[in-house]
Amino acid sequence: MSSVIIPFHLPLPKVLPTIEGNLDYRIRRDQLLQINEALAFSGLEDQFIEADLQRWTKGQKQVSAKDQQQHQLHSRRALRCNIGRMLLHEGYREFAARLADSPLHQFFCGISEVDRVCVPSKSALQRYATWWTEAEVRQLCGQLLQTGAQAPQKLRLPESVDLETCFLDTTCVAANIHYPVDWVLLRDATRTLMKAVQLIREQGLKHRMEAPEIFITRLNQLCIEMTHTRAKEDSQRQRKKTLRKMDKVVGTVAAHARRYRKLLDEQWELTEWTRPQTEQVLRRMDQVLEQLPKARQQARQRIISGQLVDNQEKILSLYEREVRVIVRKKAGAEVEFGNTLLLGENPQGLILDWELFKESAPADSRLLPRSAQRMKKVFGPVLKAIGTDRGFDSAANQEALEDDGIYNGVCPRSPQQLQERLGSWKFRKMQRRRSQTEGRVAILKNMFIGRPMRSKGFQSRELTVAWAVLTHNLWVMARMSLAAQAQQKLAA
């Protein structure tokens, strides 16, 4: 099947109203209009849609022009809605409401028409968020940076994007979980299972038991009792005593949940649910029931036996299995729970490379060669200098950078070697600039990814990071262009 974009006229948008007296609105408007021009006139948007058409038409014998036109329209809206939602850092429901009452965002997302405005629902926005894979978004981000380096005029940039210098740093992308206290996991399991049982009972399938709400209340009372044990003289004995009570309640809850799970699986046709709806409830229960024995054993081992559990074996959340313990040893964040993220930015503040780790990340010194190889694969052999903190330093990295002809701006671990390197003006300059990468990490996490990230599951979090990087780079380019235009006006 052909994947050539069918040219057609987009709906005529409404004229944006003139808003005076609000500087923040004007800044946001100018940024969105600048991003709109960058996507439209650089050809990146068409390349993205064409790649999506290749995937969509693959394996199909024949696709009508009308169906392809509709797919192109939704593909364009998906790209712009994802970027617009990331810029505002809003959820699907909030952004759907924003689209309904904001002519500016209606124009940017391509839903503004003269006679009507068809706003996508929160479910449509959620489908748009997974319209492309992480690899496809990463490819678009690479194309954006290459276009900025080779043809900056297409993106309205005052200067070419610098692909020769990169500053690396790592951070933790915190998961959306509460602090992983062992006995709180038992409370989470009870709430999830009993709420599922309550849904099943509302469909008319019942088995003899107390009301599900009673078990939730009973365990909540024990959780309150557990928090108060710290103030008692025999706190250790009271904690063990309370945990045994909680464990007994959870055992009863698990037995009831298994009976109701079997009852629903066998007699789901008697309910108002379809089989896919039934499977959703069953998966929700299975996710907890599979981990509950290990969570109970973990709580008994840590509280009753007083034994430590290895981080690799520890359950941190019943709902996020790919969350890891990350020891940061920083003020206010001695230990964090989430996934390690490697970031590489250029002197202009654009993110050139990133990697989110599903498992525990290797040492920083082992991440540098991986990042350099990825950038070489995307941009070619253009990298000339790398600057990092001392965690990335190793003898192997020093030799590899020298062999590749890349300037070594990595802070040495050895104090003597550091003293020698400080005699170089270039090294001092790169180290001063390298310290600003901490600010770039904070901007990406606070303004685009979110703290904590709301996405569930590692694949979803990985995709969210890719969209955040793409949106961040478009935002930085828009600011660069607007700053240059402002200087030209002052000079005129």
pLDDT tens digits, 56-65: 888 777 778 8
Of the pLDDT bands very low, low, confident and very high (cuts 50, 70, 90), residue 10 is low
Residue that is written with structure tokens 């950078």 in the block: 401
d(CA 421, CA 401): 15
The C-alpha angle with vertex 97 and arms to 93 and 101, in degrees rounded to 5, equals 170
pLDDT at 8: 64
pLDDT in tens, 482-492: 999 999 888 87
Average per-residue pLDDT for the chain: 90
pLDDT in tens, 416-467: 999 999 999 999 999 999 989 999 999 999 999 987 888 888 999 999 999 9
Alpha helical stretches, state H, 110-234: 122-129, 134-150, 182-202, 212-228
In DSSP notation, 207-275 reads -S---HHHHHHHHHHHHHHHHHGGGSTTHHHHHHHHHHHHHHHHHHHHHHHHHHHHHHHHHGGGSS--H
233 has a pLDDT exceeding 60: yes
Of the pLDDT bands very low, low, confident and very high (cuts 50, 70, 90), residue 1 is very low
Taking residues 136-155, report their average pLDDT.
Answer: 93
d(CA 352, CA 350): 6
Is residue 477 within 8 Å of residue 148, measured between CB atoms?
A: yes
Is residue 196 within 8 Å of residue 285, measured between CB atoms?
A: yes
Please name every residue paired with 112 in a beta bridge, in sequence order, or none if there are none.
117
d(CA 349, CA 475): 10
343 has a pLDDT exceeding 90: yes
pLDDT at 352: 96
Of the pLDDT bands very low, low, confident and very high (cuts 50, 70, 90), residue 85 is very high
d(CA 159, CA 149): 8
Taking residues 355-383, report their average pLDDT.
Answer: 92
pLDDT in tens, 146-162: 999 999 999 989 999 99
40 has a pLDDT exceeding 90: no
Taking residues 68-72, report their average pLDDT.
Answer: 86
Percent of the chain predicted with pLDDT > 90: 67
Find the range with the poorest average confidence among 193-197, 229-233, 405-409. 229-233
d(CA 51, CA 4): 9
pLDDT at 332: 63
Q: Which residue has the higher pLDDT, 279 or 116?
A: 279
pLDDT in tens, 160-210: 999 999 999 999 988 888 887 888 999 999 999 999 999 999 999 998 899
Integer Rg of the chain from CA: 27
pLDDT at 150: 93
Of the pLDDT bands very low, low, confident and very high (cuts 50, 70, 90), residue 3 is low
β 165-174/324-330 pair status: unpaired
d(CA 408, CA 397): 9
Pick from 33, 96, 46: nearest CA to 72 = 46
395 has a pLDDT exceeding 80: yes
For the chain, helix (H) and strand (E) counts, in that order, are 17, 6
11 has a pLDDT exceeding 80: no
Q: Which residue has the higher pLDDT, 181 or 411?
A: 411
pLDDT at 333: 67
Of the pLDDT bands very low, low, confident and very high (cuts 50, 70, 90), residue 355 is very high
Pick from 261, 256, 249, 335: nearest CA to 296 = 249
Please name every residue paired with 169 in a beta bridge, in sequence order, or none if there are none.
343
The C-alpha angle with vertex 450 and arms to 174 and 99, in degrees rounded to 5, equals 150
Of the pLDDT bands very low, low, confident and very high (cuts 50, 70, 90), residue 9 is low
Find the range with the poorest average confidence among 51-55, 164-168, 368-372, 446-450. 51-55
Residue that is written with structure tokens 């399991």 in the block: 189
All structural domains of the chain:
23-132 (no CATH), 145-176+321-490 (3.30.420.10), 182-304 (no CATH)
